[in-house]
Amino acid sequence: MRIDKLFLFLLVSLLFVTCSSEDLEVEPVNEFLSENFYQTEDQVFAALVAAYDPIGWTMAFGNWVSEVMYGEIRSDNANAGGDPSDNDQPGWQEFDDFRNTNTNTVIHPMYRRFYIGIFRSNLVIHQPQFTSPILDGYQAEAKFLRAYYHFELFRHFGPIPVVTELLTPEDVDLPRNTLTEVFTAIESDLLEAISILPISVSSSETGRATKGAAQALLGKVYLYWADLLGDDSSRFNQAADQLKSVVQSGAYNLLDEYESLFVFGLKNPSESVFEIQKSNLWPSDWGWFEGIEGNGMVQLCGVRGLCDAHPDYQEGWGFMLPTQGLYDFYLPDDAYRRDVSIITVDELGQDIADAGGMCDVVVDLTQSNPIDYTGYWQEKYSNFKAYQGNNVNGGDPNLTKDDNIYSIRYADVLLMLAEALVRGTGSDSEAMQYIDEVRERAAGPGDNTGSYRTAQQLMSDEGWSLLDVIWYERRAELAMEGDRWFDLVRSGRASKALFAGDDIRETNFDENIHLWLPIALQETTVASSLTEYPDASLFQ
């Protein structure tokens, strides 16, 4: 199902016969308020559509708010990029260089976005005053969404206030909850959702939460919970149980070719466990940031200054630039996966030459941020020329590029399952089977039997532990998809050493501050119990 904008038109019909006060005291006609709206399944479904909506916002309140961009730019995988001024999108430049404070322009829109999603989910859960099996399904989806939003808040801000009830204005001053309280609330929502959600949905409902999506998300939550509580093996075992259920469901499989995951027009393949739906049907423009239904990252992260003669790609705005460190990270026999994720100026020039085109300058580097420019651009969210003219109902063509966003895909599930087995009390040999599924596909198109190094061979050849292999695979497989920074933080690998050689980031990074974003000044000003950063006592 495509998740589009929900409009509730308020129609009031008043008939004045005389001017007496008695005549003026009339009941509103055909007006829906929160007290009388949630009376039918259709009305609750409309509210559920609204609860899904913030998941897809790549812009909110005038700022880009992509968790994919944050997970890459904050990490060692990417630089912010942008124009030559080094002040293009200053909030993102601050994230990149660890210069952000609680007045950063992006953090409040991020925070508000997720709590808006929680509020809308709570309306679906608490407002209906009737029961039905269909309503049970809608509320299970809302609990999945509420868990999703709480989890994203945690990944960005650390332990945050848990909101599972409808609040009044007097309830605004909420303190942070502890890590265990946050994760217990998420766990409860997801377990309830898992008991009701279907294994699959029809093609007309694609994009809605399923049992597999909830199990995969819960498995991911258990990984974070285990990691941040000091390698809790029982939580790793719980993660393995949930993730193994996803595998054993048979509902998902790896695509034969890694490259095919990112071709123009592909939506919801069999590898997609939960995918954020984007649309070109709504005339998105700059007048309503939360109404942008396209994927803003496509234009934002395209190649800046690209020659018009490229056969496939059009010029973008040059954000989320892969670092030299990421490019060099890939092993020599992993070039296929690297080249699907990252493109170089030489490859862009070769594309043009192969198509019989000609450019005096393939990429005009005078348009790029000289501090962040590395010679590389991300290629998973490519700014295809095929997007030209696909904004069906008008709107700004930069904002109507409808590339979906992978939230969780099956390769991620396999790697999380391998990690949970290794770090819990599971079987290393079973973990290696799941890793090798991912590695076989990473070797390139076709039957790669015997043509790639297994996890066991990597351990022998590179002198790695099995956990080292998993860390390698997660970075190589999921590069430019938004998990890198969050993986580093949860596993305790975000440190000054990570940014060694990067003068700005190594100098500015402070592990006591920068693992989490501060809650915005606008929030802490009105909520005196809400601390800017989480203190150590909350991680229990």
pLDDT of residue 16: 31
CA dist 433 to 61, 427, 428, 437, 464, Å? 45, 10, 9, 6, 17
H helices of 28-178, where?
41-52, 67-73, 90-97, 107-126, 133-157
> What's the CA angle centered on 486, arms 482 and 490, to 5 degrees?
160
User: With helix as H, strand as E and coil as C, how does 357-411 read?
Assistant: CCCCCCECHHHCCCCCCCCEEECCCCCEHHHCCCCCCCCCCCCCCCCCEEEEEHH
pLDDT of residue 8: 32
pLDDT of residue 449: 80
pLDDT digits 0-9 by tens, 240-275: 999 999 999 999 999 999 999 999 999 999 999 999
> What's the CA angle centered on 56, arms 50 and 57, to 5 degrees?
95
pLDDT digits 0-9 by tens, 206-236: 999 999 999 999 999 999 999 999 999 999 9
pLDDT of residue 28: 52
pLDDT of residue 32: 63
Is the pTM higher than 0.85? The answer reads yes
First-to-last CA distance in the chain? 39
pLDDT of residue 450: 82
What residue ranges of the chain have pLDDT lower than 50?
Answer: 1-24, 26
CA-atom Rg of the chain in angstroms: 24
pLDDT digits 0-9 by tens, 301-357: 999 999 999 999 999 999 999 999 999 999 999 999 999 999 999 999 999 999 999
